[in-house]
Structure 1
Amino acid sequence: MVAKTQFYHVSLALLLCLGLWAFQVTSRTLQDSFMHERHEQWMARYGKVYKDLQEKEARFKIFKENVNYIEASNNAGDKSYKLDMNQFADLTNEEFKAPRNRFKGHMYSSAIRTTTFKYENVTVLPSSVDWREKGAVTPVKDQGRCGCCWAFSAVAATEGIHKLSTGTLISLSEQELVDCDTKGVDQGCEGGLMDDAFKFIIQNHGLDAEANYTYKGVDGKCNANEEAIHDATITGYEDVPANDEQALQKAVANQPISVAIDASGYDFQFYNSGVFNGSCGTELDHGVTAVGYGASDDGTKYWLVKNSWGTDWGEEGYIMMQRGVNATEGLCGIAMQASYPTA
């Protein structure tokens, strides 16, 4: 009788273990099936096609890891910003940043910074600024896999000052800088500096309109005919005093400003909304444009930053980065190497 009872208990335990194992297997299968469905939907949305099944499975694995990271971050509930899947969801962080983030910040130490700052004596600042509302910002653009963020940053700042000085907003040509500004630090898709782009615009007496010299997203031969057309120009440029967010605020209050940031992290890759205050360093690798500042409903101060990764990234292509952090260089180094054109 005892043996039968023991056999019954062992059998019951085995059945429970098998049932739990079957449930876990089924649960994992359902989860994978759901994740595969999400991957297919993502592929359809972004027109993604892989060369073979092996590549698709490899990309699916990365996609799954990224989705899990995004959901874990959002579910933590301790951040003022949200992440989401975007066009970069099947890329590792290294694959994402390598062709895009090529601001040559490491070469800036040898550059000569300007000593004048025209907004130094500004004392009254508005509580918020948004240059989009003043018609001084063109629609968000997409640099693609070309590391010419420096050109997009410099062009956006030039478009802004041209609007403020002439009353006309013109979308200018990043491709002209990529193709023609290649005799110094700036080397097209291989990276560059905004200050050197300003120097080129000054020496060239202006830039052509984007409508005439369209963006290709690859290094090309300089079109001399288009280079000779000047739809907008600048007369000079100045550097904002380094590591001084108050000086940067004075500048942004008066015009869109080119800034460099450390945009290398996973949270930056998948930023979707809210005031970003995520982990980042000061190894400046990406050129963007500060087009305003303000404060959120809970009082958190932020910089309004225009990026060049298309409108599917961030808040329609923009990011709000926390302002007034306890670091002289600002969050992600935003106050380290800011500059602007003059006209």
Structure 2
Amino acid sequence: MTAIGGVQRRLQSAAATCLGFARLTLGSSARANGGLSFVREKANTKYTGFKSASGLKKATHFKYANLTTAPTCVDWRSSGAVTPVKNQGNCGSCWSFSATGAMEGINKIKHGTLLSLSEQELVDCDTSCSGCNGGLMDYAFQWVIYNGGITTESDYPYTSGSTGTAGTCNYPKTYDYAVSLLSYQDVTANCESCLKNAAANQPVSVAIDASGSAFQFYSSGIFTGPCGTNLDHGVLVVGYGPCSTGTAYWIVKNSWGTSWGESGYIRMQRNIASTSGLCGIAMEPSYPTM
């Protein structure tokens, strides 16, 4: 794998929200968001949009492309395929949390066991990404494939949230790999129905534009914007609704702790007029396969 040119630009872009908006602190200006307020980092103005990497080896075909019917509503949390909400802390590692969430989900679906996987191993060891300075979910999937697997959170716990930096990759390892991947696939871009087909079968990694204050200070309800499409934050689609009538939405797991949003989740409006989806959610989805 290579990490040059367009790759580095995309990694830098990914850090904008990962680093800039992930740190939450108590403060007198706290909004009605669990008593927490966001602290903006200088990095916010340093980085631009989340751009496609020219050096990225593209995945194979989208296997859910020909799915003709999908359930009216899906929530992988109710199926036990989603681990508790985590907190990336003061580290631009959103990409690793999105990637582990997708791998945790498909492992539960395929093998029946929900394991919390190690973001720290990705942050420390995946040199195609830039640790706390941003990264790509597809690169994380590629690293796990080439590496032969990824270990559990308990064997390789997350520390970069407090240190703000990547650690030293733990080689040689004294633990076994808990999960391995066969491949990963990119969902057809700018196609919310395609994303729905994928999310009907497993949790899906997505990138969104989370730079706006409306998103940052979201607390509850169905989020309708405003937001742009400069992709700068990796999150996880764990379902969609509603099961009856009402506004269509995605169920999205964030990595900013349980005090943000709806206990760490956000419901984002689905089936909007723009093909990119709200905040660009349909622009670059992907998922791992086993």
Instruction: State the TM-score, normalized to the length of structure 1.
Output: 0.72
CA distance in 1, matches of 2:168, 2:205: 26
- Structure 1 unmatched ranges of 5 or more: 1-45, 49-58, 68-83
Deviation at 1:108, TM superposition (A): 3.0
SS in 1 for 2:70: coil
Residues 158, 267 of structure 1: CA spacing in aligned structure 2 closer, same or farther, 3 A cutoff? same
CA contact (8 A) 1:96 1:269 kept: no
The one of 145, 167, 180 equivalent to 2:112 is: 167
Code of the residue aligned with 1:164 in structure 2: it is I
CA distance in 1, matches of 2:223, 2:174: 38
Code of the residue aligned with 1:135 in structure 2: it is G
What is the match of residue 283 of structure 2?
336
SS in 1 for 2:221: strand
Deviation at 1:195, TM superposition (A): 0.2
Superposed CA offset, 1:255-309 (max 9, x none): 0000000001111111110000011000000000000000287610000000000
SS in 2 for 1:319: strand
CA distance in 2, matches of 1:331, 1:97: 24
Spell out the pairing of 1:19-58 with structure 2 (5 A cutoff): 48=26
What is the match of residue 205 of structure 1?
148
- CA RMSD of superposed structures (Å): 2.4
CA distance in 1, matches of 2:234, 2:47: 8
What is the match of residue 93 of structure 2?
148
State how many pairs are aligned: 263
Deviation at 1:88, TM superposition (A): 4.5
What is the match of residue 315 of structure 1?
262
The one of 211, 226, 230 equivalent to 2:177 is: 230
Q: Bigger radius of gyration, 1 or 2?
A: 1
Deviation at 1:200, TM superposition (A): 0.2
Spell out the pairing of 1:291-330 with structure 2 (5 A cutoff): 291-295=238-242, 299-330=246-277
Matched, 1:89 2:37: yes
CA distance in 2, matches of 1:162, 1:286: 24
- Structure 2 unmatched ranges of 5 or more: 1-23
Superposed CA offset, 1:114-167 (max 9, x none): 350111111111100000111110000000010000000000000011111111
CA contact (8 A) 1:208 1:226 kept: no
SS in 2 for 1:135: coil
SS in 1 for 2:222: strand
Matched, 1:252 2:199: yes
Spell out the pairing of 1:39-118 with structure 2 (5 A cutoff): 48=26, 60=28, 63=29, 67=31, 84-86=32-34, 88-89=36-37, 91=39, 94-95=40-41, 98=44, 105-108=50-53, 110-118=55-63
CA distance in 1, matches of 2:62, 2:244: 32
Code of the residue aligned with 1:144 in structure 2: it is G
What is the match of residue 157 of structure 1?
102
**Percent identical:** 53
Larger relative contact order (Cα-Cα within 8 Å, sequence gap ≥ 6):
2
